Structure 1
Amino acid sequence: MDWRLLVSGFLVNLVFFYSIFDIYFTSPLVHGMRPVSVPSEAPAKRLVLFVADGLRADKFFELDANRKSRAPFLRSVIEETGAWGISHTRVPTESRPGHVALIAGFYEDVSAVAKGWKENPVDFDSVFNQSRETWSWGSPDILPMFAKGASGDHVHVHMYPEQSEDFAGANLKNLDLWVFEKLKVCSAALVNSPWLFVSLHSDKIVFFLHLLGLDTNGHAHNPLSREYLDNIGVVDKGIKEINDLFKDFYRDDKTAFVFSADHGMTNWGSHGAGHPSETLTPLVVWGAGVRHAKPAHSQQRYPDAYSNEWSLSHVHRTDVNQADIAPLMSCLVGLPFPLNSVGILPLDLLSVDDKFKAQSIYANAQQIIAQFDIKMQQKKDSTLRLLFRPFSPLAPAAEEEKLLQIHQLIQAANYTGAIIECQSLIKLSLEGLNYYHNYDKLFLGVSIASGYIGWMAHILIRIIQNHTNLPHAKHAGIPASFWLSAKGLRIISGCLTTVVLCLLYVQSLPWTYYVYCCLPLALWHKVIQRWRFIREVFWYLNDHGLWKDVALFSLLSVAALEIIVLSFFYRELLSVALVSMAIWIIIRRDSLHDQSLVVRWSIACLVMSVFPLMPVVGRDANFPLVYAAGILTIVASLLFQRCVFFVFLTVLSACVILKWYTCHSLHTKEGLPILNQVLSWSSLVLSVVTPLLAPTQLNIRLMHIVLAFFPCYLLLSTAQEGLFLLALTVLLHLWLQVETQVTSIRIRTKVRDVDFRSAVRLGEVQRKLSLSDIRCAYFFIFFLLNGFLGTGNIASINTFDPQSVLPFLTVFSPFVMGALMMWKNLLPLLLVTCAFEGVRLCINVPMQSLFLTVLFMSDFMALNFFFLVRDEGSWLEIGTSISHYVIVMCLILFLMILLLLSRFFTSFSPRAKSKGL
């Protein structure tokens, strides 16, 4: 294997992968704006913000089986004293970006989810930062990010210990009860703290209650469970008590209350994507400055059908975007609007005079247009004057004219006209912000796409030139000009690179832009260097009349790869492909000397085809299927009649019992026994160590790898994943046998005689690629994608089920839980790669040849998804398109790591090391 090629392939695809963050995931923040506030006196002196983490709109608003509300107090607010609506969130529907949108008023870029939870990867302004004092109670995962970003020390946090966020806890509603009780204790301490008494009676103060019980109950039990639904009542009761507490304490009717959620949750207890159950959250507002309930207009139509079941169609509803809540809170308390906010003040929720509304929306427009001006100036400064394309609908002169017009309308008391003009200006400003935020998208997209095509052309030329038996045509050809000589090409390439570097330098663009622009130049330089060979190939195909065959083969290859691409959108196509593979072996049965393989392969393919038709894992836990998978694996392994496997079977049996006992203990709310936790982590360590102790004979080593991985995988399973892995293992075993019989290359070595370590030590057999090897590479990619999407475990971010990691830990830890889920998803892929290593050795094909073929196919699929990435449409469509590209690129990058891991797992032997082999 050429390690330079492996490293260069990894680096090139790493650049392609990272480019998506510069194109779509860049931070929208700009700095340098001045605070803008409403000049009139605010209707409220203080604000209380309740955020019910993970609360779905439908479960909050709907009536129970007895036609009663689960939240009677807030229901009375909706129907009598306050306003209500739906807050529409954006992807990713996670706690951090949801709270940033609520409190800071802007939608954080997706990459910030992985950059930090308790700390800010970037500095941003917020309602808390603009307040005189803010007191907050709740989770240690949310509160610190707003305290650290605040100027001064006026944001006070009160947090429970991290250990309290235990998914196995008996009463997860205690997380919310703790918040309510701590606030009551704080109010009781006023008697002994004159400073606190004075501070709490000031204006422009905020109280933030972060209620995590619903999110934790939803993850542990799902949002349809009794625990989750009862927790809604706990939250409602606590809010009523806090409402009464503030009224009794202040007695001035100057408190405004806002209740909402950061995100919703799927039926199976996860979130992150753009399903309506995740993006629709409740909004209830009442108190000072908020209008009372009013009858709904007869013309009012709701965009969602299920809201008719809430029995609230008689009450006027005001829907908002999640970022709109931040300017609403600022307006109610008289704070300057958060500097980075892109929210639009929802005037329909206010109970103030028209003058105050006009002044408020005017301040909102000034705050947003200030961001637009800085964004435009930044882009203008980093672009050549001749190349700069301004946002024409809002040129500087037009902007100044609109602002002056609005000011004159307010001075003339034409508040309605001023409001209309402000809303129009805000709309244009937001469009302009989006325009400049995506200003370089086309330029970067063209550069990366050309890089993809150049890289694929380079791989294809290298495959044809070094790894096939295609003879070269013998043509004298046309004499090459100086500019097509090696020296001429170097001069042209050097000049182009110099020009590009100069253009980038004078525009002060980020260093990553240099990489995106120079990489395609380097790749195409490599391609053009081989123009003579390309000409020879064209002449050869033309002289032998092979163009029709090449066209047909290319068409079939593209169609086969497109099936894999479409399977990301329609998992059922995986089943169609598996059925086609069963039919294929029947057509090729004459190539097999063991005809029983036809039946066994066909049955295995048909069994595997069932899994893509089953529900995505995570929607409904079905632990009996997990136990059944363990038992079937034990029975199947006993058929090998090898005593060495009984150690593994003992471990596997113990893990089945351990899984059952853990599920029983968690179901009865007895918590996770420490012994279970120790044994679970031990199985994880054994899954890595034990395969390395087995003999390196192909069949024995592969069997040890399967039996070592299975116990840990079962512990991380919640439904049919164990059965899926068993079926996949059987199919991979049959694939090994089928390839050795249908390959067009004569095989002299039997499968049972192949030794991984001996094959690696002796080096690779240098033979050329054949068409059957291309099929083998395609099967490898197909089985890898089956490992990804066969059970739907990472087809989408919201299929994550915390129940799968509960045997290892129950206290919320996003990075440890994420690592465990990654290991679970990696195990099927590692099995496929180890089987691929076995197939490669059996058919005597060099790894480099197959690696290049697989890399070309994978990059072809990645290019498909690169063109399918979109930033328009619903947030579900946007999030899905981006996640698909990220998954494919991660697959390509992991592919190179998987090849190294498979080589390690299959050929490493400590006994051989000790003997000096």
Structure 2
Amino acid sequence: MRMITFLLVGLTVHVVFFISIFDIYFTSPLVHGMTPQATPLVPPASRLVLLVADGLRADSLYTLLQNGSSRAPYLRKVIEERGTWGVSHTHVPTETRPGHVALIAGFYEDVSAVAKGWKENPVEFDSVFNESRHSWCWGSPDILPMFSKGASGDHMYTHTYPAGEEDFASTDASRLDTWVFTQVKTFFESAKSNSSLKASLLKDRNVFFLHLLGIDTNGHAHRPMSKEYLDNIALVDTGVAEMVSIIEEFFDNDGRTSYVFTSDHGMTNWGSHGAGHPSETLTPLVAWGAGVNSAHKVTEPQPYDDGYLQEWNLQHTRRVDVNQADIAPLMASLIGVPFPLNSVGVLPLLYLNNSDQFKAESMYTNAIQILEQFKVKMTQKKETTLSFLFTPYQPLTESKQAEFTHKARILIQLEKYEDAISLCQALISRSLEGLVYYHNYDRFFLGCSVVFGFVGWTSYVVLVILKTHASLDRNPSLLRQTPSRSLARLCMCVTVGITVFLLIQRSPVTYYIYCLLPVPVWYSVLKESGTLTDLIRSAPSLPLWKCFCYFVLVAFGIELLVVSFFHRAMLTVGLTSLSLWPFVSSLFGRAKVRALSWSLGCLCLAAFPLMPVVGREPNIHLVTCAGLLTLFTSACYLWSSRHRTPLHLSDRPQFVAQMLLVAVCAYVPSLTHSSLQQKQGLPLLNQIISWTTLASSLLVPLLSSTRIFHRLLSIFLSLTATYLLLSTGSEALFPPVLSWLMFVWINIEQEAMLAQGVSGRQELSTIDFSANIDITKMRQLKLDDIRRSYFFVFFIITAFFGTGNIASINSFDPASVYCFLTVFNPFIMGGLMMWKVIIPFIIVMCTFETIQVATQLSSRSLFLIVLVISDLMALHFFFLVQDYGSWLDIGTSISHYVIVMSMTIFLMLLSVVTHTFTSKRLLLWRRPKMHFT
């Protein structure tokens, strides 16, 4: 009961610490209650056509073919003769929804919102569509509804194709774009005979949005360098030319239509997106038509040193780069609608072809619109902070706000437009900095509360280990000592004080949890002060030098794991160091074969962190080889153990069936890959085999014997079969190599016990997971158990980063799930990839469970040490979280903390699952009892 209580308390504490990072770093930056701001002058355009080629890289559009021609001749002609072009720089995460939010609403969506659902608005926000008179949209059912749902009124009309059309295995994904172009063409044809629709179209402030998903789908399925991807760009170019012709004809070439062509994100060479690689963050932007500057020829070098101008042969035409959020105010300015209320974009004036007065007024509107957000943010924070504690943003106090706006208005009236524009740009810059300042206002306070609670929890776990699992010289007089009443009263006073303070400041409910949780935690720590006295009393009898060496090595090892999150090659260094363990201890002399097997296994596993996480070309032959290796090692084990641990007659059919399933699963990826290459789709039989294997992967091992190696072998075969179906190359070899090393680890720990002189050693072949554990034979912790716990954490991290990780969406390869489905479904695909990551976890967890049983140590004691090690890593990453630098740096620092905290919580839950997975057995039928007379 105490273990369950401790587990629940520990789980609660870690969940609170985990959630805290979202309140500290992932709160929504949006505010509401601003007044819409629009330029008072007549806009240059009556309508806007926004064309978004989903997943289009800038270099794929701008780079010329070898013969000097362009694969997008129409857009190339626009760039060189009719419009203004540049690169739109996106922010991470470079995903479809955040990219469109930045384009159309003008703000960068929270990284955390990616996990809140793809088809719903995580927060309510304003957009260019919402501010328009009418908006007509065609495209994907995953994108268009999120803008129509958030729009006020009924002025937005969406036309989407069925979600099942987004199939990576389709013969030609460009049909998605053909569908859009056909629908738009039909729409304008029908409008000619529909008087009410035509009347609506002829009004001003209208928007037409064409979402073109074919390029993105072809990029995922065939890679961006493929013929399918590049041909799709040509198809889009032809479609754009046709759309422009149809629209201009419908509106009698009135010259009042603006066109913006861009992309929401790019794509890596291996067909993924989500991180910050330049191939993902550099997207094309081409604007032309009413109110847009024509191509500007230049003879002097342009202010870009990235080398792209020469590579694209566009150094003679002015390039104007923007941030992706800047496109929203550009579109709003062109058709004269209010700037989106939540936009943080800055109007790119070089795209505008209008008077200096219009540019100055538009920039002033942009500045006031962002200043409005700043004012609301400042007011909200001022109202929830005690007046004597409130520290305003000094560069933009209320008096300075009034000074900025008044001076800008005067400059515009005096027709000093350039000075007014410069002043407005300075106001925008300060307002954006002020928004960040107030958004992060409580971050230090909350961070200190979380760290204080974290240190208290870790201290408490250490004291529990020393009290219940260590052989200390205890003082009998302290055993029944109860905590003093003064300590309880002090904690109660602190609790009341914190509560009153938070009530006065009208803080959110979560603030109470973060600030009050450290109180009971530290009360528990101070209550166990007697354990520290026991430790000091026992110090003379402890091998202090050995203790010091152990703690130094573990501290160094923890730092190595922390660095491995940034540089995976550090895992190779760690595995190479671990391979020397038997040689620096006495194990090599006791068990040469096992020691050499350990070293060889570590070195083989050390090769995987050196392999690229992303960008690997599919190599299905390696998947087949991994299947053969799995069958070979399993057959060798069964043959070698035929005398020591022979299989029961009832178990043999199961192992034969599992090995046959592995053979089938090794062949299915090859058959699927071949079928998709021939564009014949995913074979139904392959899909049935894949889903059946996945569904049975956790049930089949429960049918096998609970003797240690029989159960472990069944688990290994079952999980490897699923892993093969989710593999596309060298990563398929990872589970066999990892399992080999885990098998050697179990055996070599037996030798380590003998070297320590632990009595009562039991032969591994006779151990049964389901046997009742004799508590009287459980031993106390020894220093070597710290090493065992560290090994476990190290192998867990290696399992996570060995072949890739879910920390970066960029490591997601859609081809990995093609044996299961090819129709785009982010949740199912993400779930399959998550399971692929978990499989090595389970292998390591089952090994650790075995070692706990084999070394006659309480599972709680070893797990507590693991908890301390992982918590120290989490605390380290908490201090490494940063809110400055590139978006990729910020996102990476936050994700590392989230990963370690998730891993700690996950291990606590997975330990319970693993115990069931190894010790329980399902009996589909029972043998009838034999009665003898």
TM bucket (normalised to shorter chain) is over 0.9
SS in 1 for 2:304: coil
CA distance in 2 between counterparts of 1:563 and 1:221 reads: 38
CA distance in 2 between counterparts of 1:746 and 1:192 reads: 94
> Is 1:475–1:536's contact at 8 Å kept on the other side of the alignment?
no
What residue is the counterpart of 1:397 in the other structure? 399
What residue is the counterpart of 2:717 in the other structure? 707
Report the residue type matching 1:566 in the other structure.
Answer: V
What residue is the counterpart of 1:599 in the other structure? 596
Cα deviation for residue 404 of structure 1 reads 0.8
**How many corresponding residue pairs?**
910
SS in 1 for 2:153: coil
Cα deviation for residue 296 of structure 1 reads 3.6
What residue is the counterpart of 2:921 in the other structure? 909
What residue is the counterpart of 2:683 in the other structure? 673
* Aligned partner (choices 779, 783, 797) of residue 791 of structure 2: 779
Asked if 1:624 is matched to 2:655, the reply is no
Report the residue type matching 1:356 in the other structure.
Answer: F
SS in 1 for 2:260: strand
Cα deviation for residue 571 of structure 1 reads 1.0
* Aligned partner (choices 873, 877, 884) of residue 885 of structure 2: 873
Cα deviation for residue 282 of structure 1 reads 0.9
Cα deviation for residue 552 of structure 1 reads 3.7
* Aligned partner (choices 517, 520, 541) of residue 519 of structure 1: 517
What residue is the counterpart of 1:33 in the other structure? 34
CA distance in 1 between counterparts of 2:784 and 2:903 reads: 23
SS in 1 for 2:49: strand
SS in 1 for 2:697: helix
Asked if 1:694 is matched to 2:696, the reply is no
CA distance in 1 between counterparts of 2:519 and 2:284 reads: 52
**Alpha-carbon distance change, 858 to 417 in structure 1, aligned in 2, over 3 angstroms:** same
What residue is the counterpart of 1:768 in the other structure? 780
Report the residue type matching 1:750 in the other structure.
Answer: E
* Aligned partner (choices 716, 724, 727) of residue 737 of structure 2: 727
What residue is the counterpart of 2:824 in the other structure? 812
Report the residue type matching 1:685 in the other structure.
Answer: A
Deviates more, 1:105-114 or 1:610-619: 610-619
SS in 2 for 1:910: coil
Report the residue type matching 1:694 in the other structure.
Answer: S
Per-residue CA deviations over 1:224-271 (Å, capped at 9, x if unaligned) read 211111111111111111111122221101100011111111111111
SS in 2 for 1:757: coil
**Alpha-carbon distance change, 593 to 547 in structure 1, aligned in 2, over 3 angstroms:** closer
CA distance in 2 between counterparts of 1:721 and 1:502 reads: 55
Cα deviation for residue 535 of structure 1 reads 3.7
* Aligned partner (choices 401, 418, 421) of residue 420 of structure 2: 418
> Is 1:204–1:334's contact at 8 Å kept on the other side of the alignment?
yes
SS in 2 for 1:228: helix
Report 1:641-652 matches (<5 A): 641=639, 643-644=652-653, 645-652=655-662
**Alpha-carbon distance change, 373 to 194 in structure 1, aligned in 2, over 3 angstroms:** same
Per-residue CA deviations over 1:289-321 (Å, capped at 9, x if unaligned) read 000111346353325244531111221111111
Deviates more, 1:738-747 or 1:16-25: 738-747
What residue is the counterpart of 1:581 in the other structure? 578
* Aligned partner (choices 555, 564, 568) of residue 565 of structure 2: 568
Per-residue CA deviations over 1:47-93 (Å, capped at 9, x if unaligned) read 00011111111222112233322211111111111111111111111
SS in 2 for 1:845: coil
**Alpha-carbon distance change, 73 to 747 in structure 1, aligned in 2, over 3 angstroms:** farther
CA distance in 2 between counterparts of 1:418 and 1:90 reads: 29
What residue is the counterpart of 2:643 in the other structure? none
* Aligned partner (choices 494, 504, 507) of residue 505 of structure 2: 507
Instruction: Give unmatched runs, 5+ long, in structure 1.
Output: none
Per-residue CA deviations over 1:380-419 (Å, capped at 9, x if unaligned) read 0111111111101100011011111111111111111111
Deviates more, 1:262-271 or 1:789-798: 789-798
**Alpha-carbon distance change, 637 to 550 in structure 1, aligned in 2, over 3 angstroms:** closer
CA distance in 2 between counterparts of 1:282 and 1:730 reads: 49
* Aligned partner (choices 248, 253, 256) of residue 254 of structure 1: 256
**Alpha-carbon distance change, 914 to 365 in structure 1, aligned in 2, over 3 angstroms:** farther
**Alpha-carbon distance change, 253 to 721 in structure 1, aligned in 2, over 3 angstroms:** same
Cα deviation for residue 10 of structure 1 reads 1.2
CA distance in 1 between counterparts of 2:258 and 2:614 reads: 43
Asked if 1:749 is matched to 2:762, the reply is yes
Report the residue type matching 1:463 in the other structure.
Answer: I
CA distance in 2 between counterparts of 1:820 and 1:590 reads: 41
Per-residue CA deviations over 1:490-517 (Å, capped at 9, x if unaligned) read 1111111111111111111111111111
CA distance in 2 between counterparts of 1:440 and 1:670 reads: 56
Per-residue CA deviations over 1:638-671 (Å, capped at 9, x if unaligned) read 2223644211111111112222111111111100
> Is 2:105–2:127's contact at 8 Å kept on the other side of the alignment?
yes
What residue is the counterpart of 1:176 in the other structure? 177
Asked if 1:529 is matched to 2:539, the reply is no
> Is 1:617–1:719's contact at 8 Å kept on the other side of the alignment?
no
Report the residue type matching 2:208 in the other structure.
Answer: F
CA distance in 2 between counterparts of 1:294 and 1:617 reads: 40
What residue is the counterpart of 1:50 in the other structure? 51
* Aligned partner (choices 632, 636, 641) of residue 633 of structure 2: 636
**Alpha-carbon distance change, 238 to 195 in structure 1, aligned in 2, over 3 angstroms:** same
> Is 2:882–2:893's contact at 8 Å kept on the other side of the alignment?
yes
What residue is the counterpart of 2:63 in the other structure? 62
Report the residue type matching 1:754 in the other structure.
Answer: I
SS in 2 for 1:413: coil
SS in 2 for 1:111: helix
CA distance in 1 between counterparts of 2:320 and 2:348 reads: 8
What residue is the counterpart of 2:642 in the other structure? none
What residue is the counterpart of 1:281 in the other structure? 283
Instruction: Give unmatched runs, 5+ long, in structure 2.
Output: 640-646, 929-933
TM-score (norm 1): 0.97
> Is 2:473–2:537's contact at 8 Å kept on the other side of the alignment?
no
SS in 2 for 1:220: helix
Cα deviation for residue 551 of structure 1 reads 4.1
Report the residue type matching 1:621 in the other structure.
Answer: P
CA distance in 2 between counterparts of 1:382 and 1:827 reads: 47
CA distance in 2 between counterparts of 1:453 and 1:112 reads: 30
CA distance in 2 between counterparts of 1:167 and 1:317 reads: 35
Report the residue type matching 2:702 in the other structure.
Answer: L
Report the residue type matching 1:646 in the other structure.
Answer: V
CA distance in 2 between counterparts of 1:660 and 1:801 reads: 17
CA distance in 2 between counterparts of 1:414 and 1:663 reads: 65
* Aligned partner (choices 547, 553, 561) of residue 556 of structure 1: 553
CA distance in 1 between counterparts of 2:299 and 2:458 reads: 59
SS in 2 for 1:28: coil
**Alpha-carbon distance change, 782 to 44 in structure 1, aligned in 2, over 3 angstroms:** same
Report the residue type matching 1:625 in the other structure.
Answer: L
CA distance in 1 between counterparts of 2:619 and 2:387 reads: 63
Cα deviation for residue 575 of structure 1 reads 1.1
SS in 2 for 1:281: strand
> Is 2:550–2:783's contact at 8 Å kept on the other side of the alignment?
no
**Alpha-carbon distance change, 64 to 585 in structure 1, aligned in 2, over 3 angstroms:** farther
CA distance in 2 between counterparts of 1:734 and 1:307 reads: 57
CA distance in 2 between counterparts of 1:749 and 1:536 reads: 33
* Aligned partner (choices 808, 813, 817) of residue 801 of structure 1: 813
> Is 1:295–1:315's contact at 8 Å kept on the other side of the alignment?
yes
> Is 1:82–1:292's contact at 8 Å kept on the other side of the alignment?
yes
Per-residue CA deviations over 1:91-145 (Å, capped at 9, x if unaligned) read 1111111111100001111121121222212211000000000000000000000
Report the residue type matching 1:86 in the other structure.
Answer: V
Report the residue type matching 2:510 in the other structure.
Answer: T
Asked if 1:315 is matched to 2:312, the reply is no
